[in-house]
Amino acid sequence: MSGDALNTAAIASAPQALWEVCAMLGEGVLFDAVRQWVWFVDIKGHRIHRCAPDGTDRRSWDAPGQVSFIVPAADGSMVCSLEDGLYRFDDEDGSFAPLAKVEADETGNRFNDGFVDAAGRLWFGSMHDDEEHPTGRLYRFDGAGIAAADDGYIITNGPATSPDGGTLYHTDTLDKRVYAFDVDADGKLSNKRTFTTIEDGGYPDGMAVDLDGCVWVATFGGWRIDRFDAGGRKVGEVRFPCANITKLAFGGDDMRTVYATSARKGLSNEELAAQPLAGALFTFRADVAGQAQNQLKLQD
């Protein structure tokens, strides 16, 4: 798809680059309303990034490996993933402290996207780092123990839940399919079914759900974010000036400011020259509010 054909749908304003950070694989963006920060990571660049909601007051930290997501915890700390599990991240001194080992012996895998639901549980997935074998799993972390919730993925992506918390959405990126599950009060999944498939080009990546129950799905290689109603029907899209859009999060005082990450990964030198904003953190205004970022509840 050519950048000349891009336009912005009526569901949102045109995306603007907030931080031209040139991330190799930007991911995991979130809006921390408590501390008024926007957080995101560069998985392949081994970096954690943070800025103010308007893009100022920028700060970055080196990570000791591929860091795929970062989420706020209820105790005021930040929790992220590295290749062998979950870690506490201290933004004062930049240190990483082990929290829970996960797939420590699965050397071909790494973790990908993560999301905290309204009950304070962390949902996150692993994937085959070379993107060849279905060794990826979806996990649930309730602050004390970790349980595998689904498996058989080459690339897991985009956990998110409906506003009532009764539906979990999860992506099989290479199959271009978004699944829906029923979620009970204990976090157990059932009734796995196809919610939607991506048919307009690109691969489904990270996602977020607005207060109307519509699912917004970033597309890697698709130049856009798609919006689907609760029945899985596409009802809008937001076009970007670069191809690889990886994740979005709602934020701001009215939860209508959207932040989105992008990636330079997989683009040729010619494509990078034509897409100078690839790898940037973007922002735009949506016509509907999204759900607030939840905090991970850690148990002693």
> Which residues are within 8 A (CB) of 245 and not within 5 positions of it... i.e. 6 or more apart?
205, 218, 219, 220, 222, 223, 224, 225, 260, 261, 262, 282
7-21, 90-104, 111-125 — which is least confidently predicted?
7-21
Lowest-pLDDT range, 101-115, 240-254, 259-273?
A: 101-115
Nearest alpha carbon to residue 197 among 217, 211, 212, 224? 217
pLDDT for position 229: 96
Helix/strand/coil (H, E, C) string of 194-243? EEEECCCCCEEEEEEEECCCCEEEEEECCCEEEEECCCCCEEEEEECCCC
> What mean pLDDT value characterizes the chain?
94
> In the sheet that 167-172 helps form, which strands lie side by side, from edge to edge?
156-161, 167-172, 177-183, 189-197
Tokens of 214: 């519509």
List, in sequence order, every residue forming a beta bridge with 122; answer none if it has no partner.
116, 141
Locate 285 and state its tokens.
């205004």
Question: pLDDT tens digits, residue range 177-194?
Answer: 999 999 999 999 999 999
Residue 5 confidence (pLDDT) above 80: no
Give the model's pLDDT for residue 300.
Answer: 66
Confidence class of residue 10 from pLDDT cuts 50, 70 and 90?
low
Residue 4 has pLDDT above 70, yes or no: no
CB atoms within 10 A of CB 23: 27
| Distance from C-alpha of 120 to C-alpha of 142, rounded to nearest angstrom | 7
**Whole-structure pTM value:** 0.94
Query: Considering only 4-18, 39-53, 78-92, 94-108, which range has the smallest mean pLDDT?
Result: 4-18
Supply the residues annotated as catalytic.
205
Checking if the pLDDT of 128 tops 60, the result is yes
Residue 3 confidence class, pLDDT cut points 50, 70, 90: very low
* Greater pLDDT, 6 or 296: 296
Query: What is the rounded CA–CA span in Å between residue 187 and residue 222?
Result: 32
State pLDDT tens for residues 249-294.
999 999 999 999 999 999 999 999 999 999 999 999 999 999 999 9
pLDDT (mean) for 215-229: 97
pLDDT interval class at 140 (50, 70, 90)? very high
3-state class (DSSP) for residue 34: coil
Strands 146-153 and 156-161: unpaired
Six-digit token pair at 200?
A: 């307009």
pLDDT digits over 64-83, tens only? Answer: 999 999 999 999 999 999 99
Do 227 and 237 touch, CB atoms closer than 8 A?
A: yes
Lowest mean pLDDT across 33-37, 102-106, 239-243: 102-106
